[in-house]
Amino acid sequence: MKISQLVEVLEGKVVCGEQFLDKEVQYGFASDLMSDVLTLDSDKLVLITGLNNLQTIRTAEMADIECVIFVRNKKVLPPMIEIACEHEMVLVECRFSMFNAVARLSTAGLKPVY
């Protein structure tokens, strides 16, 4: 699915990377634990998390993740946007719980990593 579809399903707000909404994503991984995110090998991965700090963005950078969804109404902070823009990431804020967001994305066709 395209990132734009994912934003629609989540009624999300795109905080940065609007020019990349046509990129395709295939897999989703929901975690607040960045070490678990760093164990994944999948490409075209969306990270769904409630952890809104700089290390979330650094983790996405190292793991080649191009789209991060922040659930539970967590707000993206300015230093996070700076690094995310540099690495051409799409950051999306979403008011739903992680459970709700994941359920919607799964119904829409996003696949689990395992």
For residues 53 and 11, is the Cβ–Cβ distance under 8 A?
no
Dist CA 71 CA 62 (whole Å): 21
- Interface with another protein (CB under 8 A), residue from 12, 29, 56, 93: 56
Element housing 109 (H / E): none
- Reading the block at residue 100, the tokens are 């709700």
- Spatial contact of 78 and 57, defined as CB atoms under 8 Å apart: no
What is residue 15's DSSP assignment?
E
Which residues in the 69-108 window bind another protein by CB under 8 A? 79, 83
Any contact of residue 64 with another protein (CB under 8 A)?
yes
Nearest to residue 71, comparing CAs of 89, 36, 35, 46?
A: 46
Report the residue from 11, 24, 55, 99 that binds another protein according to the rule CB under 8 A: 55
Contact between 24 and another protein per CB under 8 A = no
Which CB, 54 or 85, lies closer to another protein?
54
Choose between 33 and 109: whose C-beta lies nearer to another protein. 33
CB of 49 vs another protein, minimal distance in Å: 8
Taking alpha carbons only, the member of 83, 89, 62, 69 closest to residue 12 is 69
Does residue 63 interact with another protein by CB under 8 A? yes
* 51 touches another protein by CB under 8 A: yes
What residues line the site for another protein (CB under 8 A)?
32-36, 38-39, 51, 53-56, 58-59, 61-64, 79, 83
